[in-house]
Amino acid sequence: MNISAFYATVNEAITIVPRGNNREVLIRGAEKQARTTCNDLPDKMYIRNTVSPEKSKKLKDDEKYFSLKEHMDYLTSKQEDVGKWSL
């Protein structure tokens, strides 16, 4: 059996893809299997190049680099008790 990919049903999923010399984090987009229930998150963010910061993607004034810790903290703060929807 050759398994080359998998698909999971979850509320929050990100996908990291290369874009030229940079890495892009997709937070929303069915074609890349990225999704979120948080409407105030952008569709994508870039990852800072920590080895050569000068090679990092230049961001617009209202953008910031993706941080996994900040993202996880944000998602944790938005968690709701879903017990009332349980069967």
pLDDT in tens, 23-71: 999 999 877 788 888 899 999 999 999 999 999 999 999 999 999 999 9
Whether 81 is in a domain gets the answer: no
At 46 the pLDDT is: 96
Whether 13 is in a domain gets the answer: yes
Structural domain range at position 17: 8-66
Tell me the HSE value of 7 on the side-chain side, using a 13 A CA sphere: 5
Whether 2 is in a domain gets the answer: no
Q: In what order do the strands lie in the sheet with 15-19?
A: 15-19, 22-26, 44-46
Whether 79 is in a domain gets the answer: no
What's the domain count of the chain? 1
At 65 the pLDDT is: 97
Q: CA 35 → CA 1, 2, 16, 18, 65, distances in Å?
A: 29, 27, 12, 18, 18
Residue 65 near residue 48 (C-beta atoms within 8 A):
yes
Q: What is the pTM of this model?
A: 0.76
Residue 26 near residue 12 (C-beta atoms within 8 A):
no
Whether 76 is in a domain gets the answer: no
At 16 the pLDDT is: 93
Whether 17 is in a domain gets the answer: yes
User: Which position has the token pair 């290369």?
Assistant: 18
